[in-house]
Structure 1
Amino acid sequence: MEIAIKLTQFLLSLSILIILHELGHFIPAKLFKTRVEKFYLFFDIKYSLLKKKIGETEYGIGWLPLGGYVKISGMIDESMDTEQMQQEPQPWEFRSKPAWQRLIIMLGGVTVNFILAFLIYIGMTFFYGEQYIANDQVKNGIWITNPVVEKAGLKTGDQLVSIDGEKVERFYESNEKLFLSKEIIVMRNGKEEKVHFPVNFIDQLMQGKKVSLVELRVPFIVADIQPDSQNKTILKTKDIITSFNGKPVAFADEVIKAVDTLKGQTIPVVVKRDGKEVPLTLKVNAEGKLGVAYAFRIPYDDIEKLGLYKVSKQEFGFFESIPVGIDKGFAQLANYGKQLKAIFNPKTGAYKGVGGFAAIFNIFPHTWSWEAFWGITALLSIMLGVMNLLPIPALDGGHVIFLLYEMISGKKPSDKFLEKAQMVGFILLIALLLFANGNDIYKAIFHK
């Protein structure tokens, strides 16, 4: 059932993005009286699942969910219809239109992608508002759950002050910023200290299993008990450990650290259960484990109920949501730009983390959440827009480069040149696709 929910979200999001992107090409093409021969969701190699011709355009759904396309008459694209290009240009063909009209048609798809992302962020701001924990509320510092981050220099208990010169305002924004950061200032034992992440920090992260960098320090709350645990009849889910081996403990990291030093021992603990303090005796196995899973990221509602941190809430009217949503869109756009820069810098090793369709599929949650769905869709829309602007001949960005050259120089590249450029771009895209999805397969096999 969980797989079905993830798959439904994945396909729905992909379908929305593809249809709207292709509409961005289709609508200006029709406005400029350019013939559109096909409009397809997914690729129809050899055959299509559904198709219907309305007027001069065949609309359909292909069987291969790797994208979609519109086939515009008189345009050298992925269809490589060279036979049509050898005939005399017709008034309704793409190649017969003025360069400025062709430019608008080519930029239509990415324009829609960016507009869609910004509209989603505005809508989410209006409907959901904002919930966050202010960084200055995190008095007891951060919890480092990732050994790579600890090796890089951050420690549990550090208080984040700034990341790359920018003050940390909201706690959970720090994970995204730390991922690409160079210099972090923390408050440690009452003194400010600088931590510098290595240039290949992202590469090191990719080698491990944990992606989260920092978390809130929270109590040790039993989330699940393993069937073979020696403590399965003693502990209950939602138990909160408040005393461990005779010492009061406030945070899960304190329990985890203590357990590792008590391998094979039986120890006294106190748990909070249904509002009461309950003394228990637990067994630590030979590996230094209690045989239970603990909660490391707690929903905001439960954080408030437990009185752990103050959760700030802000609601926005419709017109108030517009600038806030736009700011969110630009922030995501800038952040994705930084990620691309890191990917194209071999020293960072970020290219090893590039993923394909499996990586996108895994972003979606196991349970249905419209808030999560729209947030992911907005991010993917930005990614699709930026990727399509890359100056690769088979992408929109490649066509735009050639059109700009034509508009500036007054010389149109020959059809023969454009055909060869399209082929080179297509080979590059296939290589990128193989690399990204190959990374997915590698991580699935070796990073279990």
Structure 2
Amino acid sequence: MFGGVFFNFILAILIYSATLFTWGEQYLKTQDAIYGVQCNELALEMGFRHGDKIIAFDNEPVERFNDLQITLARNQAKSATIIRDGAEINLELDPAYLPAVLNTPGMFSLRFPFQVASTDPASPNSSKLMKGDRFLTLDSTNAQIYQDVAAILSQNKGKTMRATILREGYVVETEIHVNDEGMLGIVLEGDQSKFFNITTYQYSVTGAVASGFNKSTSTIGNYIKELGLIFSPSTEAYKSVGSFISIGKIFPASWDWYIFWNITAFLSIMLAVLNLLPIPALDGGHIMFLFYEMITRRKPSDKVMEYAQIAGMLVLFAIMFLAFGNDIYRLFK
């Protein structure tokens, strides 16, 4: 009865341990996102601002920058602790925004400096900009961050602008031409390690197993929280439920063994947790009746078991219908 569920948990631990031993871990800590967050329209409406440094939700620190939005949604956070203009403030969050948070990806993106990696030889700026140049101002407007520069350029298409640049430790000024698409004809520096302290871990066999176990247990806890959101109609999380169509979409377009194995481990945990739900026809339902027998010291009648199995199958069919319905709706939306 519990064997299949137990195997799913063990499989997840083994996969996570193997991936951690083989590839290690590399991520950006929230505290190391020194230029703050870039907000989408929803985040701005909720009260966040470009450049905010988010420290915690409900006084619980968020370690990984990429986990900000999912942590906000998963924990149904009521407040956010942020640093804005050098001062720590507490931002109250309206629970009414939770459905939008769950269905609006990209609330918080990473702000990073505008630094030139290379120039297009055909660009009129090829003789004016060099590899490693960092923008400081454009026409006396502060323009150090990529997102700010992009917004300024989009407002000055086809124009010539005065740029102040930091080049090899010296401040220089030059005129640059913005083409009709709001571009400069350059390639931006995309190596985050040039701008941020990237946390990197390499594990021994024993360290990988311990970390794999911890990752599995934290994933179980997080998935249980997410299930709680789905069964709470006010969050509208049920709209994100999907079938194998959605599962297929989470795999990358190009093959990547690291991503494949991590998704496989997550799916193994997902199946184990779902199978433990106290729904007749699932292992969780059988365990529920077993506890009933242990407590009452009598077995449910065959009629009760028959009706329970039918009810359980109806619930499962309803979940399947919801999942396929959501996927079909999203395909034609």
TM-score bracket for this pair, using the shorter chain length: 0.7 to 0.9
- d(CA) in 2 for partners of 1:107, 1:222: 57
CA drift of 1:371 comes to 1.0
Q: Could you say if the C-alpha distance between residues 197 and 348 of structure 1 is closer, same or farther in structure 2, counting changes exceeding 3 Å?
A: farther
2:93 counterpart letter in structure 1: F
**1:134 aligns to 2:25 (yes or no):** no
- d(CA) in 2 for partners of 1:202, 1:364: 26
5 Å matches for 1:339-378?
339-378=226-265
CA drift of 1:139 comes to 2.1
Deviations along 1:189-241, one digit per CA (max 9) or x if unpaired, are 12111223332434213554xx1232221245899xxxxxxx9x6499xx988
2:151 counterpart letter in structure 1: K
1:163 counterpart letter in structure 2: F
Determine helix, strand or coil for the equivalent of 2:178.
strand
Q: Could you say if the C-alpha distance between residues 349 and 426 of structure 1 is closer, same or farther in structure 2, counting changes exceeding 3 Å?
A: same
- d(CA) in 2 for partners of 1:190, 1:243: 20
CA drift of 1:308 comes to 1.0
- d(CA) in 1 for partners of 2:254, 2:164: 30
Aligned to 1:96: none
The answer to whether the 8 Å contact 2:35/2:112 transfers is: no
CA drift of 1:261 comes to 3.8
The answer to whether the 8 Å contact 1:121/1:375 transfers is: yes
1:303 counterpart letter in structure 2: Q
CA drift of 1:113 comes to 1.2
Aligned to 2:177: 281
Aligned to 1:246: 139
The answer to whether the 8 Å contact 2:115/2:135 transfers is: no
**1:112 aligns to 2:2 (yes or no):** no
Deviations along 1:262-291, one digit per CA (max 9) or x if unpaired, are 4x652437799xx9x996422345xxx659
Q: Which runs of 5+ in 1 are unaligned?
A: 1-105, 224-230
5 Å matches for 1:158-173?
158-173=52-67
**1:148 aligns to 2:42 (yes or no):** yes
CA drift of 1:179 comes to 2.8
1:258 maps to which of 140, 152, 165 = 152
CA drift of 1:443 comes to 2.3
1:184 maps to which of 71, 80, 89 = 80
Q: Could you say if the C-alpha distance between residues 267 and 241 of structure 1 is closer, same or farther in structure 2, counting changes exceeding 3 Å?
A: farther
Report sequence identity in percent.
35
Q: Could you say if the C-alpha distance between residues 196 and 429 of structure 1 is closer, same or farther in structure 2, counting changes exceeding 3 Å?
A: same
1:189 counterpart letter in structure 2: D
Determine helix, strand or coil for the equivalent of 2:18.
helix
Deviations along 1:311-354, one digit per CA (max 9) or x if unpaired, are 22221211122222221111111111111111212222222222
The answer to whether the 8 Å contact 1:245/1:267 transfers is: no
CA drift of 1:435 comes to 0.7
Q: Which runs of 5+ in 2 are unaligned?
A: none
5 Å matches for 1:10-409?
106-144=1-39, 146-180=40-74, 181-208=77-104, 211-220=105-114, 234=123, 242=135, 245-247=138-140, 249-262=143-156, 265-268=158-161, 280-284=176-180, 290=183, 302-304=191-193, 307-409=194-296
CA drift of 1:377 comes to 1.1
Determine helix, strand or coil for the equivalent of 1:172.
helix
Aligned residues: 317
State the Cα RMSD in Å.
Answer: 3.4
Which structure has more relative contact order (CA 8 Å, sep 6+)? It is 2
